[in-house]
Amino acid sequence: MDFVTNCAADVADQFWAQTRNGLTLGSIYAMIALGYTMVYGVLQLINFAHSEVFMVSTVAALYAIPFFGVTEGDPATGLSAVLIFIAVLVCCMLASGLVALLLERLAYRPLRKRGAPRLSFLISAIGASLFIQYLFVLMDGEHYLFPIRGIADPLGMPLMIIGLALAVVAGGLLLAGVRRGEAGWVDAGTLTGFGGLAALIAGLVFVVKLPDILGPTPQSVPELFATSTVFTLLGTPISNKRLLVVVVTVIMLVILDNFVRKTRMGRGIRAVAQDPQAASLMGVNINRVIVVTFLVGGLMAGAAGLLYQTVLSAPAFWFIGFRPGIKAFVAAVLGGIGNIRGAILGGLLLGLVEAYAVPCIGTQWIDVTAFVVLVIVLLFRPTGILGEQAGG
């Protein structure tokens, strides 16, 4: 009983501060959740590699921020901070968008073309996710993937070349196999394709890079601009960074809403989500809709990645996508998978639930709340709060 009363008192004490924290993090979850939910809407597929689409954004920030002249300990100020932020945001969004497009093209489309069973998509998703993660493991510690940051370790470059060559050979074999059509060995190849490929490369990287993986050094991203309090609301200071998260999220959501509701392509996306066959009878090019959906999800995840990095001072790190990714997935299920408004609602709710749980269970245990929420949703309302209304 003590726990409950203490907990209630703590939450009451920190209520507005935690509401603020919950809404900031929740906005970010919502933006990532949109990618899961929109792809699910058009393909009935959970893109489990979406967390890596997010992760790539933090890596893009690692390179883009110094590129625009901001270095560690020397943040930008005033108008130049705003302009640089926008430029970095564009870079992050493009990087994530590109990865999302590649995923669609390489991990899912070959399966879709051949009418592969659901399970193959799941295997491919997990394989692609591991593949991207371990590709970025190569830039942990001393081994940088991209030579522009210098190669401290003599092994870095050869490793990278071997890894990439392997990936290209295996990927080429796979694609050649998929092209060949009906041949028997191809079916097996497709099924195990990306899973096997990823496992192979991941395994290789793992063995050679074990020391790094056991003690990886996340790359800290230079702070783009310094934190300051903009105003105080209900006794709670609101920082420029948190304000930025909310402003960017609102802008992105307004653009997305108009895109989905008012534009021709947006109507196509909704139509495919509601009835793909009827949509193609109306003249909707389903392939193009799928590509655009992945792109939009990627752009949103890219923006979310930079915001997450900014507000939490998160490092660029191969594993950084896992937690926000899985939580955004929970948020999408919570709101009703496939449902765009559901993803936004679910993201904000999950952010708040987590924030209110902090005073009670502490930050180390906070991840548990998301999974508890997931279990509760699946038990009592498996279709989510707003229901699975794809394209609604």
Would you tell me which residues interact with other proteins (CB under 8 A)? 264, 267-268, 270-271, 274-275, 277-286, 389, 391-392
Q: DSSP E strands: which ranges in 35-93?
A: none
Taking the least distance from each CB to other proteins, the nearer of 123 and 271 is 271
Taking the least distance from each CB to other proteins, the nearer of 137 and 273 is 273
Q: How far is the CB of 44 from other proteins (least distance, A)?
A: 16
Q: How far is the CB of 264 from other proteins (least distance, A)?
A: 7
Query: Percent helix, strand and coil across the chain, each rounded to 5?
Result: 75, 5, 20
Which of 286, 266, 265, 264 minimizes the C-alpha distance to 275?
Answer: 286
Q: What is the largest CA-CA distance in the chain?
A: 68
Q: Kindly give the pairing relationship between strand 229-233 and strand 236-239.
A: antiparallel
Taking the least distance from each CB to other proteins, the nearer of 192 and 285 is 285
Taking the least distance from each CB to other proteins, the nearer of 155 and 281 is 281
Q: How far is the CB of 274 from other proteins (least distance, A)?
A: 5
Q: How far is the CB of 337 from other proteins (least distance, A)?
A: 15
Q: What is the DSSP string of 107-159?
A: IIHHHHHTT--HHHHHHHHHHHHHHHHHHHHTTSTT--SSGGG---STTHHHH
Q: How far is the CB of 163 from other proteins (least distance, A)?
A: 38
How many other C-beta atoms lie within 10 A of the C-beta of residue 356? Answer: 19
Taking the least distance from each CB to other proteins, the nearer of 271 and 311 is 271
Tell the residue number behind the tokens 């009418």, with chain if given: 115
Dist. CA 186–CA 192, nearest whole Å: 10
Taking the least distance from each CB to other proteins, the nearer of 130 and 289 is 289
284 exposed, middle or buried (CB, 10 Å; 0-12, 13-18, 19+)?
A: buried
Dist. CA 352–CA 342, nearest whole Å: 15
DSSP 180: T
Taking the least distance from each CB to other proteins, the nearer of 228 and 262 is 262
Q: How far is the CB of 19 from other proteins (least distance, A)?
A: 32
DSSP 319: T
Q: How far is the CB of 106 from other proteins (least distance, A)?
A: 22
Contact 336, 386 (CB under 8 A): yes
